[in-house]
Amino acid sequence: MTKTPLYDRVTLIGLGLIGSSLGHAMRRAGVAGEIIGADRDEAVCKKAVELGFVDRAETDAAKAVADADLVVLCTPVGTFDALAKEIAGALKPGATLSDVGSVKLSALKAMAAHAPEGVHLIPAHPVAGTENSGPEAGFAELFEGRWTILTPPDGADAAATEKLKSFWEALGSKVEVMEAEHHDLVLAITSHIPHLIAYNIVGTAADLETVTESEVIKYSAGGFRDFTRIAASNPDMWRDIFLANKDAVLEMLGRFSEDLSSLQRAIRWEDGDALHKLFTRTREIRRQVIEAGQDE
């Protein structure tokens, strides 16, 4: 536990899975003297205070960020431009403005367009989550052993970046710093494309005319169950992710389509050697994921 809070006041805008988990994790680690929440929904604000992961909550985001040392946007990335504009005048000089979005280049541009001079802009992405949403979904252990990627822009304050790095490490994360554009390319293939495939496969199964929907549900094997878990993720968040990271997603989707065509040819021509080679290589990747502790 951190003996002295890293930030006297932290404001979380958006109190869903990530926002609520941040609140719980900060409570446990003692990294914030006071935690303020903000959400458009008054019922969500009330529930957040009731659950105890914030000290108070406001429906007015500008009011919530007053005198905050760290402000974290925990809403879908499509809201960042309007939110950054709304709170800009209330941010105090020297504060750090960050986020938890899965796309970093568009997040950086949206926040930078409105962040006043003297505010440290340091986007972040905790690579963690579940298919659940809402203030009740959060838990303090969500970030333990997971990577959090910081994407500070050129010229970002080194001390502010290091402080935010320490913040995430105190919550249990391993922290990496990289350029926003590179982050988006990496996450396109490791996260965004897998989600797109899951949405598509579950949609295809639901549209089959020769197999009933009840049969799809009744006889779901492990692989399909995994796809349905991913496809149950927040639709607002993922809509915004795909639109915000369009270029990287389309590039990776093109490569995936080419590889899928090769696999289709191998099956058509009964090329067992090609199939075995691919499956052996991918099994090795799975082994490395497990060894890296990223299998849960």
Q: Give pLDDT tens digits for 205-249.
A: 878 767 677 777 777 766 777 777 778 878 888 888 899 889 988
Label residue 1 by pLDDT band (50, 70, 90): very low
With respect to CATH, is domain 182-291 assigned 1.10.3660.10?
yes
CATH of domain 7-178: 3.40.50.720
Q: Are 234 and 16 in contact (CB under 8 A)?
A: yes
Structure-token pair, residue 163? 């402080």
Q: What is the 3-state secondary structure (H, E, C) of 66-111?
A: CCCCEEEECCCHHHHHHHHHHHHHHCCCCCEEEECCCCCHHHHHHH
Whole-number Cα distances in Å, 254 to 175, 258, 263: 30, 6, 14
Residue 64 burial (CB count, 10 A):
23
Q: Is the pLDDT of residue 140 over 90?
A: yes
- Whether the model pTM is above 0.85: no
What integer pLDDT is reported at residue 292 of this predicted model?
66
**What tens digit of pLDDT does each residue of 7-63 get?**
999 999 999 999 999 999 999 999 999 999 999 999 999 999 999 999 999 999 999
Cα four-point dihedral sign 81, 103, 91, 156: negative
Q: What is the pLDDT of residues 116-137, one digit of tens each?
A: 999 999 999 999 887 788 899 9
Strand partners, 124: 150
Rounded distance between C-alpha atoms, residue 138 and residue 27, angstroms: 12
Q: Where are the domains of the chain?
A: 7-178, 182-291
